[in-house]
Structure 1
Amino acid sequence: MGKKLKRVVAASAATALGLALAACGGDSNDGDGGSGNNNAEPGQAGGELNYLQHFLFEAADPQRIYYGVQLANWRRTVYRGLTAFPMSEDPKVSNTPVADLATDTGTMTDGGKTWAFTLKDGVKWEDGSDITCEDVQYGASRPFANDVITGGPNYTLSYIDVPQKADGTSTYPGPYKATPEQQKQFEDAVSCDGKTITFRFNKPWVDFNAAIAGLMMVDPYKKSADKGDKSKWNVLSNGPYKFVGGKFDQAKGGTLVRNENYDPATDDPEQLRLALPDQINWKVNDSDTAGETFNDQLIEDSPDVQNAITTARLAPQQLLKVQSGEPKERYTNVVSPYTDYLVVNAKTVTDPKVRRAIGLSADINGFIKALGGELVSEPADSIINPGVTGYKPNPAWADRNLDGDIEAAKALLQEAGVNGKVKLKVAYQKSPTYDKAFSVLQESWNKAGFDVTLDGQGATYYDVLASPDKDIDIAWAGWGADWPSVMTVLPPLFDSRPNISATSCNNDYGCYESDAFNKLIDEAANAASVEEQIAKLQEADALLGEDVGYIPLDNQKFNWMHGSKVTGFTTTAASSSYPELGLIGVKQ
């Protein structure tokens, strides 16, 4: 996802109970190998569900949505796409797109440069009008107006085959400012023929149907309903629910009721959206204590939250309360789609042996214990999350000593000809929990022959990390895949060409540069199949391990509570390991 999104991912991770983002991926297994569904009773139809949200969305406009939980939940309720990810608890199934508004998952030709989809008959907006090919075409045009449609994913801007400027940006300014010639150029690249829409790209996009299942960047949008930025909080539904008043209130939420113009015969409810409650009361409270308060109420099963689920993870101090007794029956622990890692500044720590010594001496088990233990995180062996298609342990980190191999690190430093202590400044987003966790790493690094200074930073953390001249040797970061593809992990983080300039390293926080790595990324981008692409990306990840382009830390875990009247509670890879709203019901 976009850089802004990743900053929020990382910021929330530092609190160990904040908001996690990104679109897809994630492992749907719970901490003891179960499904993550601790409520054996199946979801029931009817009644009202309360959805308790402890943070603010940034938009209700489909082309501007970039929160993973919002993408997942609104795909189940108000916004259908050409394709979607199913609600299976099997990650392999839920990471495989299926048809939604389209009759199938698309026809790929020209080595992945062309994709065609045909709309189903009978799909309608909440106002009763038909969803047309032109609606999809118009929706796909809106992200190009990135001075108006801000904050959302922008992948299509570099793929759709419209003329580009010398710097690689599009000459098409979006539908609001385009000249007739510019609009024609776009409509030649994204063209309609009856109910069939064809996307023509300037390079292969072999998993485009997965990308649009996870992100809403080419979702249909009705031109006559578009008021530009004034449409930011409007919702014209094509799903089983609609918002009362056609709007979502950023600070308060909204009420979802049945959409009478939704026809389940055009859908696959069993796979994509059971839409069990008659009404969903979306309640937003973004106060500093809201999340903890929600979960205190859920632990006690207070009467007004017995029919409730929440976006708020249990705080570490609440976890002990739900490990036994009745609350345990309503508690779920699940691996999230988000992985934390360290990058070593390639400009200040130039010797790969020294970088490897940093990685080998890190006390990962102690770090995780300080975060809150196995209920909060598990050790990572790659920057690629286990829920992402194409994941495999990075050979460089698969068998390391998770307690920290001090002697191996000392030997590497000796091989590197190091005399005396190696001074290192380590940056992370400051919080009481992360202060403790990084003190553990500091201790193990110092034992190995380093002299480590900790530099906990505040809200401008990622601005500092992006600087090519930063006074930082090691930095913490977090990432989650936009859809379950390694292409949404390795290239945005380590391809130096779009990242590094005279003034910024952008998402390549260690300012890592490798022609060999970039070559593998190009080969993956031009692969003729997903399988070929995965093989090239796995090779690229192995190269990063050899170069110590990153040091994996942990895969975050989510801890969820729900009320006693909630039925069918589970999480899936398709729900970003948040509660799977498409399967959840309430007792009457």
Structure 2
Amino acid sequence: MPESGPTPRRRTARRAVAAGVIALAVAASGAACTAEEPPTPEGISGLPAKGGTLTLLDEAPYFDSLDPQEVYVLNQLNLSSLIYRTLVSIKVEAGAEPQLTPDLATDLGRPSNQNRTWEFSLRHGLKWEDGQDITCEQVRHGVARSFDARNGGDAVVQGGPTYPRQVLDVDADYTGPYTQPNAEFKAVECLDDWTVRFHLKHGVGDFPYMLTLPVFSPARPLGVERESRFDRSPLANGPYKVVESRLPDPDNGVTGQLILGRNAYWDASTDPVRPAYPDRVEVKYGVDRELATQQMIAGNTDYDGAVFLGSNVPGNYIQQVLADPALYARALTGYTNSVRYLAINTSKVTELGCRQALEYAFDRRKFLSVYGGTIFGDYASTMVSPQSPAYREFDVYKGKDNPDGDLATARELWTDRCPEKLRLDHADTPQLRRAAETIVDTYGKLGIKVETRPIPADEFFPTVQQPDEQGDLTLAAWVSDWPNGSGTIPTLFHGDSIVDGSNLNLAQLDVPEINALIDQASQEPDLAKQYALWGELDERISREAPTIPISWGKAVQLMGTKVRGAVMHPQYGMAGVAALGVAG
């Protein structure tokens, strides 16, 4: 998933800011500190009390979307876990390893037909916020509506994860229930009200991980008018429902706000994932991160129950937090399963040698100095992070061992067949502007003129997800959709992922051999063998030089004095909000 930056959306041309990880690029926060475990149970990882108010802070003006079939930015996915449930979830709690856990489903699925057919049973007693039962047909409708994204700019559902379109056995011209209400949708079959059967194009050995994304979640058929408002006011089946959703009005000094209250029809006995500690959750948008951090450090009681969604301690406060035991005890630290990278558009920089020159020349040390150095991320050489079981150690261009870059080798590779000028796209934040200038300076030593195009943060993904709008280089970041190479490589490198309006293959790589190897790895039923295949693929793709892995992210996320239950969620790269609460 892209790692950051929720944005306001315009209903006339709305596109989900991707995730699967979100782009660290938009967040413009440092990536963090050491791989220490979170503090002791007496600190932020201690057990919360029931009740109180949890406050979630975000720098963006407003979330792009909370529609279950659209949501794909990490902080929005994280928050959405309070509002609606998925068939399967990754459960986190203090003192335990993250665990793949049945959520709306009773188990992790029953595969057959060489993993091309998966059957799940829904728990009994599941209800929506108005007391109506959750049924298989609603799962079917939810998955079917994700295909509405094929209708382009006029679609009700825009963007979001493309996995249903990638793996389900559906006609290539199916465009969802709004435009084709009478078309057959056999990919999701209801054997009865509680039994769901998925039919896939090919075997997918880790399909339950895919079901942790809300794009496979149920949606009540309520008609186009109501369903088009799911982005602001989704129908809840989790422990909380939307009580107030206030859009920002900058002209009148009004900031955005989202308030969640308890859902009376949520039954804790059916939910093994969400303890639902607070009575109320308030999301405050447009918050100045430096000012809020200053207030949290000073112990301002207004911030006692506050957590920044995915943002790290600003660089000018990081040493203070690391050096002060009391502050450090309130900091969630650890690896985020993310990679910050520079995508090289292979449709524009077509010569392999030219792309390899850019790989060799890249100065990771100078780039990361903008974020405070390696405190905020380790030098990277792979797109699959070291926290993944699919990780394979390699360093094709010696960038991890030689973070200053190798200009001599780059000069040998940069010939007159290479472009004289490159355009670099990045989200327009002060930190990313400085980071982009390090790239301008580095490639300038090769005689390359790099022009930067800062794109407003609320327009960054809607812009770069359109292949024709992309420049030669794009700064982004990725958090794996789940802990496997299948949560990174297909979305970022399969040619079929290059789709207008929802493209996250920012390198626009489309190599038939690599596409076939990705399909092969996806279909491998033995997970140990599948992990090995993804690691081999990561190295094979690296030799095409489509991306420059810059750093593997780490986090230092400061919490308010009363926040409890903070555990790093491997899918979001931040504290999982479903486990959070406040002290009594």
TM-score bin, normalised by smaller chain:
0.7 to 0.9
CA distance in 2, matches of 1:368, 1:39: 32
TM-superposed CA distance for 1:423, in Å, is: 4.8
Q: Does 1:116 align with 2:119?
A: yes
Aligned partners of 1:362 and 1:402 also within 8 Å: no
- Secondary structure, counterpart of 1:126 in structure 2: coil
Q: Does 1:49 align with 2:61?
A: no
Structure 1 residues 570 and 507, CA gap change in structure 2 (3 angstroms): closer
CA distance in 1, matches of 2:502, 2:315: 34
Structure 1 residues 330 and 5, CA gap change in structure 2 (3 angstroms): same
CA distance in 1, matches of 2:465, 2:138: 40
Residues 8-157 of structure 1: pairs in structure 2 closer than 5 A:
13=25, 16-17=28-29, 31-37=33-39, 40-41=42-43, 42-54=46-58, 55=60, 56-75=62-81, 77-88=82-93, 93-94=97-98, 96-146=99-149, 147-157=155-165
Per the alignment, residue 178 of structure 1 pairs with 180
Per the alignment, residue 7 of structure 2 pairs with none
Aligned partners of 2:331 and 2:556 also within 8 Å: yes
TM-superposed CA distance for 1:388, in Å, is: 3.9
Structure 1 residues 105 and 454, CA gap change in structure 2 (3 angstroms): same
Q: For 1:125-151, what per-residue CA distance to the aligned partner results, in whole angstroms no more than 9, with x for missing partners?
A: 333333222232222222233321234
CA distance in 2, matches of 1:479, 1:103: 31
- Secondary structure, counterpart of 1:368 in structure 2: helix
Which residue identity is paired with 1:80? R
Per the alignment, residue 568 of structure 1 pairs with 565
Q: For 1:135-179, what per-residue CA distance to the aligned partner results, in whole angstroms no more than 9, with x for missing partners?
A: 3222222223332123432321343323x2xxx332x531x3434
Per the alignment, residue 273 of structure 1 pairs with 274
CA distance in 1, matches of 2:437, 2:187: 57
Structure 1 residues 453 and 15, CA gap change in structure 2 (3 angstroms): farther
Aligned partners of 2:336 and 2:479 also within 8 Å: no
Q: For 1:539-580, what per-residue CA distance to the aligned partner results, in whole angstroms no more than 9, with x for missing partners?
A: 222112223232211123333221112223332214x12222
Which residue identity is paired with 2:563? V
Q: For 1:94-126, what per-residue CA distance to the aligned partner results, in whole angstroms no more than 9, with x for missing partners?
A: 2x5211121101111112221110112222333
Aligned partners of 2:351 and 2:417 also within 8 Å: no
Aligned partners of 2:260 and 2:280 also within 8 Å: yes
2:578 is aligned, of 552, 563, 582, to 582
CA distance in 2, matches of 1:65, 1:89: 26
Per the alignment, residue 306 of structure 2 pairs with 308
1:553 is aligned, of 550, 553, 562, to 550
CA distance in 2, matches of 1:254, 1:537: 39
CA distance in 2, matches of 1:533, 1:31: 31
CA distance in 2, matches of 1:249, 1:470: 33
Structure 1 residues 389 and 73, CA gap change in structure 2 (3 angstroms): farther
Which residue identity is paired with 1:31? C
CA distance in 1, matches of 2:313, 2:118: 43
Per the alignment, residue 322 of structure 1 pairs with 321
- Secondary structure, counterpart of 2:450 in structure 1: strand
CA distance in 1, matches of 2:64, 2:430: 28
Q: For 1:22-58, what per-residue CA distance to the aligned partner results, in whole angstroms no more than 9, with x for missing partners?
A: xxxxxxxx73332234663422222313323322122
Aligned partners of 2:392 and 2:536 also within 8 Å: no
CA distance in 2, matches of 1:417, 1:35: 44
CA distance in 1, matches of 2:419, 2:137: 61
Structure 1 residues 491 and 120, CA gap change in structure 2 (3 angstroms): closer
Structure 1 residues 580 and 7, CA gap change in structure 2 (3 angstroms): closer
Per the alignment, residue 295 of structure 2 pairs with 297
Once superposed, what is the RMSD of the aligned Cα atoms? 3.6
- Secondary structure, counterpart of 2:124 in structure 1: coil
Per the alignment, residue 196 of structure 1 pairs with 195
Aligned partners of 2:108 and 2:120 also within 8 Å: yes
TM-superposed CA distance for 1:516, in Å, is: 2.6
- Secondary structure, counterpart of 2:403 in structure 1: coil
TM-superposed CA distance for 1:187, in Å, is: 4.9
- Secondary structure, counterpart of 2:574 in structure 1: coil
2:448 is aligned, of 437, 449, 452, to 452
Q: For 1:468-508, what per-residue CA distance to the aligned partner results, in whole angstroms no more than 9, with x for missing partners?
A: 79874x5433333333332342233333355399xx99544
CA distance in 2, matches of 1:471, 1:567: 43
Per the alignment, residue 285 of structure 1 pairs with 285
- Secondary structure, counterpart of 1:537 in structure 2: helix
Q: Which region of structure 1 is more displaced relative to structure 2, 149-158 or 424-433?
A: 424-433
CA distance in 1, matches of 2:418, 2:116: 53
Q: For 1:291-319, what per-residue CA distance to the aligned partner results, in whole angstroms no more than 9, with x for missing partners?
A: 33322221212111112222243322232
Q: Which region of structure 1 is more displaced relative to structure 2, 51-60 or 462-471?
A: 462-471
TM-superposed CA distance for 1:12, in Å, is: 5.4
Aligned partners of 2:396 and 2:542 also within 8 Å: yes
Aligned partners of 2:35 and 2:335 also within 8 Å: no
TM-superposed CA distance for 1:353, in Å, is: 4.8
Aligned partners of 1:35 and 1:89 also within 8 Å: no
1:5 is aligned, of 5, 17, 22, to 17
Per the alignment, residue 233 of structure 2 pairs with 234
Structure 2 gaps of 5+ residues are 3-14, 150-154, 249-255
Q: Which region of structure 1 is more displaced relative to structure 2, 392-401 or 420-429?
A: 420-429
Normalising to structure 1: TM-score of the pair?
0.81
Per the alignment, residue 25 of structure 1 pairs with none
Residues 393-542 of structure 1: pairs in structure 2 closer than 5 A:
393-397=393-397, 400-406=400-406, 409-411=407-409, 413-414=411-412, 423=420, 425=422, 427-429=424-426, 431-441=429-439, 450-459=446-455, 463=463, 472=472, 474-496=473-495, 498-499=497-498, 507-542=504-539
Which residue identity is paired with 1:87? V
Aligned partners of 2:24 and 2:340 also within 8 Å: no
Aligned partners of 1:190 and 1:197 also within 8 Å: yes
Structure 1 residues 258 and 550, CA gap change in structure 2 (3 angstroms): closer
Aligned partners of 1:61 and 1:235 also within 8 Å: yes
Q: For 1:196-219, what per-residue CA distance to the aligned partner results, in whole angstroms no more than 9, with x for missing partners?
A: 111112222332211111x11221
CA distance in 2, matches of 1:8, 1:328: 29
CA distance in 1, matches of 2:300, 2:48: 21
CA distance in 1, matches of 2:465, 2:160: 22
- Structure of greater Rg: 1
Aligned partners of 1:36 and 1:332 also within 8 Å: yes
Aligned partners of 1:370 and 1:436 also within 8 Å: yes
- Secondary structure, counterpart of 1:70 in structure 2: helix
Normalising to structure 2: TM-score of the pair?
0.82
Which residue identity is paired with 2:157? I
Aligned partners of 2:37 and 2:333 also within 8 Å: no
Structure 1 residues 189 and 546, CA gap change in structure 2 (3 angstroms): same
Aligned partners of 1:38 and 1:330 also within 8 Å: no
Structure 1 residues 177 and 298, CA gap change in structure 2 (3 angstroms): same
Aligned partners of 1:38 and 1:569 also within 8 Å: no
Per the alignment, residue 369 of structure 1 pairs with 369
Aligned partners of 1:466 and 1:508 also within 8 Å: no
Q: For 1:70-92, what per-residue CA distance to the aligned partner results, in whole angstroms no more than 9, with x for missing partners?
A: 322332x231222111105699x
Runs of 4+ in 1 over 6 A off after TM superposition: 7-11, 419-422, 468-471
CA distance in 2, matches of 1:33, 1:557: 7
TM-superposed CA distance for 1:518, in Å, is: 2.4
